Structures are given as structure tokens and as C-alpha cells.
Amino acid sequence: MTSPDPLRRTQDATPLDFRGVTNWVFDLDNTLYPRRTNLFAQIDVRMTSFVADFLNLPHDEARALQKGFYRDHGTTLRGLMTVHDVDPDAFLEFVHDIDYSGVAPDPKLGTEIKRLPGRKFIFTNGDRGHAERTARQLGILDHFEDILDIVAAGLNPKPAEATYDKFVGLFGIDTQRAAMFEDLARNLEVPKRLGMRTVLIVPPHLEEALGDVWEHEGRDGEHIDFITDDLAGFLAAIA
């Protein structure tokens, strides 16, 4: 499993690779729905607006600062809290005030998640309200036992190791019997060390340019077990 080709890796996944897994952990944004949905793009725009207004910066400077916070601190919010002591509640309320109507129900994904044996969780750097609204729009909310959001994580985002420890402890996760699905390779390093199977969700080749360059780094790392550009199809293959 050394090739970074997502289609080859998707085809190679079998039920044997996930035998014994009873804890299924999913990131939310750009994982449970495709990046082309542009839902997170709305949040991204509002984060830039928040930074510009809060720090009285021109748009371009605010954008560059926001992206730097995201890269260096795990989330824009964490960077703003660390450097500028921002009110997290005000930030989260503002950036998640978006239009969810563009998120199409995904009955195929719902069917495949429902078929998975055991418990299912959403583990997100967003807040619970955003996760619930998104999953409800997708038609998959009822398939999940619970959600660990950024507030429950003590505002300490992935990839902080303490946040994974909190998730594992809170829900009593046996990491040797768990699998995690994420769109950022760096957020799978700790899960792999903990013994989880790791699956990286990537956009189709023609949509690579939608993300920042650094978001695509690390895909060939040893901590990535599988890569796929089709989550529902991947789940169907391993069912």
C-alpha cells in the first residue's frame, strides 16, 4: 500500500483490511461531503471577513493571516485565540452563519455508513451546530452515536494529540478496533500512532486546485493506510 494513487488504493481495500473495526470516526468538512460542495468555502470567506473586521485589516492581509493561522495552529480560531485573545463564541457564531441549502442529501453514503458494524462518530474542528446541520442536510445525522466538536475538545483542534486522547477517553474507543476518515493527512498521524486504520479523503484529480497547497502534503506518508476520492464507494468495498 505504498502508491499514492487514490483509485488504486480504493480498489485494493477489502473487508479483511477492516476486520474487527467497531469504531468508525469521520471528520466532517470536505470528508462527509465533497469539497466541490463549497460549504467550507463559505466558512472560509466568513473567517476572512471576521479577521479583517476584528483586526481592521484589508481583505488581502486578513486572508493571508487567516491562512497562516490555519496552517500553523490547526484552525484560524486557535490562532486568533493564541495571538489576539479573541472571543471563541463570537467567532464560531459568525463563521457558521452560512447557507446549507447547497448540500445535497447523499442516500448512498447514508446506506453505507448505516451498514458499518458498531459505533460511528463525527470528530470535527467545527462546532456541534455546524456538524448537526450539515449531517442532517446530508441525511446521515441519525447514523452517528455522537459528535466531538471544537468546543468539547476544549477549543484545542486536531492535530493536537491531547484532542485525540480526549476523544478516545470520552467515548471509550478501542483504537485497535477503530478507523478514521479525514481530508488532511496531518490529522491522521496521531490516529495511526494510536493503532487506528487511516483513510485519507481526497478530491478528484480535476478538483485538486480547490485547496491550499499545504493541505495536499503528506499523502504518501506511512501513516496513511488508504486514499480514496469516493467515500461511499470505499465504504461499500469494505462492508
- The number of folded domains in the chain is 2
Q: Is residue 122 part of a domain?
A: yes
228/150 same-domain check: yes
pLDDT at 203 (0 to 100): 87
Q: Is residue 1 in some structural domain?
A: no
Q: Which domain holds residue 86?
A: 39-95
Bridge partners (DSSP) listed for residue 200: 182, 227
Q: Are residues 20 and 75 in the same domain?
A: no
Q: Are residues 137 and 69 in the same domain?
A: no
55, 72, 95: which is the final residue of a domain? 95
pLDDT of residue 215: 58
CATH number assigned to the domain comprising residue 87:
1.10.150.450
Q: What is the pLDDT of residues 166-192, one digit of tens each?
A: 999 999 999 999 999 999 999 999 999
Looking at the structure, do residues 89 and 148 belong to the same domain, yes or no? no
Per-chain mean pLDDT for the chain:
91
**How many Cβ atoms sit within 10 Å of the Cβ of residue 168?**
20
Tens-digit pLDDT profile for residues 52-98? 999 999 999 999 999 999 889 988 999 999 999 999 999 999 999 99
My answer on whether 134 and 150 are in the same domain is: yes
Domain co-membership, 198 together with 121? yes
| Whole-angstrom distance, CA of residue 236 vs CA of residue 172 | 26
Q: What is the mean pLDDT of residues 106-126?
A: 98
Domain boundary among 55, 75, 95: 95
pLDDT tens track for 8-39: 455 578 999 999 999 999 999 999 999 889 89
Per the domain annotation, does 224 fall within a domain?
Answer: yes
Q: Provide the pLDDT for residue 4.
A: 46
For residue 232, give Cα distances in angstroms to 102, 116, 156: 19, 11, 29
pLDDT of residue 239: 86
Question: What does the pLDDT average to over 135-161?
Answer: 97
Task: Say if residue 181 is in the same domain as residue 84.
Answer: no
Domain of 154, CATH number, reads 3.40.50.1000
pLDDT: which is higher, 215 or 52: 52
With cut-offs at 50, 70 and 90, classify the pLDDT of residue 212.
low
Residues 43 and 31 in one domain: no
- On the question of pLDDT at 100 being above 90, the answer is yes
Q: What cell numbers appear for 174 in the block?
A: 478501542
Both 48 and 109 in one domain: the answer is no
143 shares its domain with 120: yes
pLDDT score of 5 more than 90: no
